[in-house]
Structure 1
Amino acid sequence: MKIIVLIKEVPDMEKVRFDSEKGVVDRSSAEAEINPFDLNALQEAVNLKNKFGGEITVITMGLPRSEKSLRDAYARGADRGILLTDRKFGGADTWATANTIAAEIRKIKDYDLIICGEKSVDGDTAQVGAEVAEFLNIPHAYYVEKVNAVSRSEIEVTIENICGKKQNRKMKIPALISVTKNINYPELPLLERKLESLKIEIEKCSLENLYGYIKEEEAGFNGSKTKVVKIAVPKEVKRESKIYKGNLNCYMKDVIHMMKDKNII
């Protein structure tokens, strides 16, 4: 199988700071890493490669420093890393990001399956994967918790609980799947692969390399359909809780009293 994995480099969200005045994430305030959900996507690609053979290509769009994440992806089992990096890609929303990634995939041409994580921990939109599939005009499935079967012509997956039900879906290949964290447990990279990753060549792709697949006005800030006006950090709210054990009448009296105090009833 020829598998493409989409990853995003994100800041460590437990350490990152927000610039409230500018309304942006201060990405320099925390070390960057592979988006945690994308590690599950990469691991699933490795599992499929181990079962069926083939090649894994990892694609990311970002600053030149994102090369580090592609080397990490190689250490975890990928065969090839492609970095889409250009100032003209800067400021892209999900639409422009997906369009640029899809352009690179059209340039690659030969692939069977695209895998991505369900969302990124910094943007949390869960849109890019589906948009890439739409740009490529291929079927896609989100919230995949299990790959049931793969043949030369189709893939069958199980989608997580949606409105109380699970769903099995068959799709023709090539296809895109967006996986949840329940699909597997990402393995730690081997020391041998980590050492090899320091020496491999990371392919870098600029907008000029994609001419014929995407127009300049469709990429980056200029190609974005949405603009972020402001990012606000929510204020911490103190919450109080009380535990009732086996005393339903006391619980109901307290609930009614509280609702009256707040003018709910």
Structure 2
Amino acid sequence: MRTYYDVLGLPFGASAEQIRQRYRELARLYHPDVSQEPDALRRMQEINEAYRILSDPQLRLAYHLRLAAWALRKTARSSRPVVVAAPKPPLPRASPRWMLTTLASLLAVVASAAVVYHLYHPFVVKKALLQGLHLSAWPTYLKPPPSLEWIDLSHNRLTTVPAVLFEQKRLRYLSLAHNEITLFPGTCAVWTELEVLDLSHNRLKALPLGIGELRSLRILDLSYNELGALPPEIMALSTLTELRLRGNPLSPESRAWIEAQLKHQPNLRVLW
């Protein structure tokens, strides 16, 4: 039986850091954008599914239960009754075989229930860690669940924000740092629960539509872009506590206006 650990080439019980590091290595080898192998897409789909299961503690636990149930069922099937030679029939005694079978069945039920629970409760999958994979677009083989709260797409080759991100209504953290983004094709007003937005080290000359409607936003990193000014709605965000603006060609008028607005925002810290 080939396990998800085998797919990633890791020993059973590998640490979360080992799984994350191995996934990055394999993604660089088999991602369809960089690999010329004919089965690269299929391999990447297998790798992605293995990473999805093993990187989530709850899904990983359910998977371990399934493996344990399978091992117990295999042990029960291979068990053989012990024949004791005696002049008289021995007294009846409990056989370990039915115990193993019963335990395997119970574990199978628990594992199945866990799998069904996770399938029909999408909030279980909350993170998508796709940083440093040389992506130029959202992977076609990865359909993001609507439950994502944390997405990291930093250190890739994106030139525009993937459209699928505008379908995520539960985002709390989004990093698009260290890309080549010049365009936001949609409004970020859909991210009503977003708390941290990192757009640093891109090529933005203007901020996306709807940014003034992010009523939960606490940290906004715009450093090292090409912004000459900020829209007024930024300074009206009452929840904002940190605004990073280093490395932008802000005009003297814009800087003066921002400093004046800080008098009305005592909890806001601006990093120039």
TM-score (norm 2): 0.24
Larger radius of gyration: 2
User: Which has more helix, going by share of residues?
Assistant: 2
Select the structure with the greater relative contact order (CA < 8 A; seq sep ≥ 6): 1
User: Which has more strand, going by share of residues?
Assistant: 1
TM-score (norm 1): 0.25
